[in-house]
Amino acid sequence: MSYEVIILEKQDGIATITFNRPKVFNAYSEQMSHELKSAVTDVGEDESVRILVLKGSGDNFLAGADINMLNGWSKAAEDEGWEKVKEILDNHFSPTLLEKIPQPTIAAVDGMAWGMGSEISIGCDIRICTNRASFAQPEINLGIITGGGASQRLPRIIGSAKAMEMILTGAPIDANEAFRLGLVSQVVAPEDLDGAVAKLSKKIMAKSPLMVNWAKQCVNLCMDHDLYSGVDKELTQFSKTFETDDSKEGTSAFLEKRKPNFTGK
């Protein structure tokens, strides 16, 4: 698939998807949705890719949905009922896809991550932002609610009270507050964002690709499992690691005081 409103690049094991509508703050549109779905699926199926980074062009990550798209959904609901809107959205990109692909995903957030921009970022495994970044779920200001998973993911990350406040008021939080709440793992200067993402990516890529995949799966169990069933599934996966070549290589390298050569097997 050719892309017009996003850019997909792959280099040295890192795939980068850039939202590319800078004149409208990278607003999320129908076209962007379908291109994102295609690009993320492509990355997930590419075994040469170890990390996926999502970022925005210009000075913003992604500042919410295109109003014309929302108006189109209103017209669809008026003509055919809310079920038609659900049918349309079932074929759209969902941040859930970011959780389901095997590679770790990193949101590199500069400027606004509002609405769907916030929801895409919280669908990623890790978020790094600049000191001028902000996060918001302003849907309530438009007479609608969140639709990309914020009501489910945000409370799990920052707690129900603050998530409820953000969703019910639509008010943004700045980078420092995002860091205090645990929404982001690092806050850096804008000029240091790419370097911080590259440094983190390099650390992850030095590990076993198979174990990185399994570890991501285990962490994501907390999204849809109770504590004890999640712990049991983690223990099962942990036990399976000892059948792998990478487990043997990791322990041998430690004892021999050398860097491991993981193969993902």
The catalytic residue positions are: 119, 139
Q: Which residue has the tokens 């890790």?
A: 126
What is the Cα Rg of the chain in Å? 19
> Within a 10 A sphere around the Cβ of 47, how many other Cβ atoms?
10
Query: What tokens does 66 get?
Result: 């295109």
Helix-, strand-, coil-residue percentages of the chain, each rounded to 5: 55, 15, 30
> Within a 10 A sphere around the Cβ of 171, how many other Cβ atoms?
13
Burial tier of 235 (Cβ tally within 10 Å: 0-12, 13-18, 19+): exposed
